[in-house]
Structure 1
Amino acid sequence: MSSPSVYRLLLIILHCLYNLVDFILRTWIYWRYRVYQYFTANTFIQNIDNYIHLRILHLDKLPAHIVIILGTEKPSYSDLSNIVFWCIASGIPYITFYDHKGTLKKTEEILKDTLIERKLDMKQIIWNHEEYKNGITSTTTTTNGYKNGKSKHAQNGTRKFHINILSHTNGGKHSLVNTIKKLSTSYYNNRGGETGNHPPSPSSDMIDIEYLNNYINSDFKLPEPDLGIVCGNILCLYGILPWHIRTTEFIQLETHVNIHIDTFLQILYKYAKSEQRYGK
């Protein structure tokens, strides 16, 4: 047998062994989590707020806005609802899910139903800029941001949590293409005055980076994410707009499926220890 054939055979054997070990580890993690969940569900869920509060009590900082990038993974609605509950228990007011394929955007009602089934008070939730009232949604014009460690809703005596579902069409590079198309159409049709929530139709010398930023942000009414969780084995941002993530700290998560609360808390610990230099 020639040397290239031997090397090829060894590579195939190593590849098979790697896949076998990876399969065994994933299976072990999956069943360990299921067994743990079965035996601790009753006591753990009842004390989840206290558990999280005690674990994050001494952290120097917490994100005000988390974005979860699903990558190539299919949405696991039960696990995404867990993340929502844990963010709310941690006092994180902005939770964004970015699925570049658009699957979650098309099926977001399933996520809503999952949250309702788990007894989440939907009156706390502002969903894609729409607020729940008596089982229906109505638009709201809230101001984003934290001040002195509290959201502006909290300062007014109410605590609201913002859940947003983004895809490549409304939170990725495709939205930049749509913006250019709108500006071109508006310019060549000589449309003056306001167009929806957007600035007036500009002349060609008015269009610069600042103008584009204001134009896009009139749709994307969210603060920049502080923490980004990238799901999957590939560390890729999947086209999420770069000016939304200028100061975002990214942490990779192997998968959001069967994510455990301690894994979520470990991500918060990593974020708290990170030093954001803001380009310095």
Structure 2
Amino acid sequence: MASRRIRRPEDSMPPADREKLVTSRLPPTEPTQKSALRAFLSHRFHYGVLLLFHFFYSIYLRLRLIYHTLANKTYSMVYYHHRTPELIKRDVQNLARLPGHLSVALELENGDKVAGLDTLIDDMAEIVAWCASAGIFTLSVYEKTGILKGYVSASHRAASQRLNAYFGKNRPSLRIRVPHSAAYTDGGEYDGEADMEVIFISEEDGREALVDLTKTLCEMRQRGKINPEDVSVDLVDTELTDSGFTEPDLLILFSPYVKLSGYPPWQIRLTEIFHVQDNDGVGYHVFLRALHRFAKTEFRFGR
């Protein structure tokens, strides 16, 4: 049975009228003057809102910077140590606890390498004296490039002179150590005990330690000395600790924001990290505030 074709009204229209009908139903090919004006005003409105947001946000940042600068200056004047161990000890004597192992992250300043290295060593020596005065005798100093590792002797000499300026003849003995290397004390290598231990670490220590441990575990597995189920977090932690760098209790960043810069990740799984907003540079007020924050921190260890 033949289907019956349904005739539509436009079928009987002349071609010219049909073309006009189709054209009227299509979107305009060119914006009208009204739509162009609407788009222009919409763009200007959103642009103005964005400028207004940036204006108020920049005011907020400047006010925050002024507030933190004044607060840091006030804190520095009130708690200035005058290179006196007794004053530093008094600043921390009422704290509930102190970190047994403190770590700090320092940065090599861009520009003149010699001047940047001198500043880096000077900051390290000052922090060593603060730690010894506060009763913290294990300090790890992180610097991304590892440049301090090439100047262990100069670093030890600078830190010893700074300790002598603080303590006089009663200064604690100092040992500087680099992972996988012999320790350095007065005059050369030394493997015995010292009152103060400083460890120089860099970005490569975390990466190389994990790579070496992975290779060792793979070789032991191939020789049948270890099973996959024997590899655990405790095993990895023990092996990495035996490499010469234990996990710090507190990590102080002297940057204005949290920037780890490649700090070995495994060693700071449970470490308290502290920084002062808008601060830029090593200062005793940051060191002291970090110790106060650490004393108030409640450690749950995943519970």
Q: 1:28 to 1:58 in 2, by over 3 A?
A: closer
Q: Which residue of 2 aligns with 1:100?
A: 144
Whole-angstrom CA distance in 2 between matches of 1:204 and 1:162: 37
Contact conserved, 1:96 with 1:163, CA < 8 A, in 2? yes
Whole-angstrom CA distance in 2 between matches of 1:139 and 1:256: 36
Q: 1:176 to 1:25 in 2, by over 3 A?
A: same
Q: 1:111 to 1:25 in 2, by over 3 A?
A: farther
Whole-angstrom CA distance in 1 between matches of 2:176 and 2:280: 21
Q: Which residue of 2 aligns with 1:219?
A: 243
Give the aligned length: 241
Whole-angstrom CA distance in 1 between matches of 2:162 and 2:69: 27
- Match of residue 9, structure 1, among 27, 46, 51: 51
Q: Which residue of 1 aligns with 2:15?
A: none
Alignment of 1:42-191 (within 5 A): 44-45=82-83, 48-70=84-106, 76-120=120-164, 124-128=173-177, 130-133=183-186, 135-140=187-192, 160-170=195-205, 172-184=206-218
The residue type paired with residue 9 of structure 1 is: L
Contact conserved, 1:71 with 1:236, CA < 8 A, in 2? no
**Alpha-carbon shift at residue 29 of structure 1 (Å):** 7.9
Contact conserved, 2:254 with 2:286, CA < 8 A, in 1? no
Contact conserved, 2:250 with 2:272, CA < 8 A, in 1? yes
**Alpha-carbon shift at residue 216 of structure 1 (Å):** 2.4
The residue type paired with residue 178 of structure 1 is: D
Q: Residue 233 of structure 1: SS of its match in structure 2?
A: coil
**Alpha-carbon shift at residue 106 of structure 1 (Å):** 4.4
Whole-angstrom CA distance in 1 between matches of 2:150 and 2:53: 42
Deviations 1:168-216 (A, max 9, x none): 211x24421233245546777x6xxxxxxxxxx9456586124433332
**Alpha-carbon shift at residue 55 of structure 1 (Å):** 2.1
Q: 1:108 to 1:11 in 2, by over 3 A?
A: farther
**Alpha-carbon shift at residue 76 of structure 1 (Å):** 3.6
Whole-angstrom CA distance in 1 between matches of 2:107 and 2:121: 15
Whole-angstrom CA distance in 2 between matches of 1:18 and 1:106: 43
Whole-angstrom CA distance in 1 between matches of 2:195 and 2:88: 19
The residue type paired with residue 137 of structure 1 is: E
Contact conserved, 1:101 with 1:168, CA < 8 A, in 2? yes
Whole-angstrom CA distance in 2 between matches of 1:32 and 1:76: 25
Contact conserved, 1:49 with 1:89, CA < 8 A, in 2? yes
The residue type paired with residue 212 of structure 2 is: N
RMSD: 3.9
Q: Residue 118 of structure 1: SS of its match in structure 2?
A: helix
Whole-angstrom CA distance in 2 between matches of 1:231 and 1:276: 23
| Percent identity for Structure 1 against Structure 2 | 22
Deviations 1:202-235 (A, max 9, x none): 456586124433332221253x322121332332
Contact conserved, 2:103 with 2:142, CA < 8 A, in 1? yes
Flag the structure with more relative contact order, 1 or 2, with Cα contacts below 8 A and sequence separation at least 6: 1
Q: 1:243 to 1:27 in 2, by over 3 A?
A: closer
Question: TM-score, normalising length from structure 1?
Answer: 0.67
Whole-angstrom CA distance in 1 between matches of 2:235 and 2:73: 52
The residue type paired with residue 97 of structure 2 is: K
**Alpha-carbon shift at residue 52 of structure 1 (Å):** 1.6
Contact conserved, 1:173 with 1:239, CA < 8 A, in 2? no
Q: Residue 265 of structure 1: SS of its match in structure 2?
A: helix
Q: 1:174 to 1:238 in 2, by over 3 A?
A: farther
Q: 1:25 to 1:114 in 2, by over 3 A?
A: farther
Q: Which has the larger radius of gyration?
A: 2
Contact conserved, 2:156 with 2:176, CA < 8 A, in 1? no
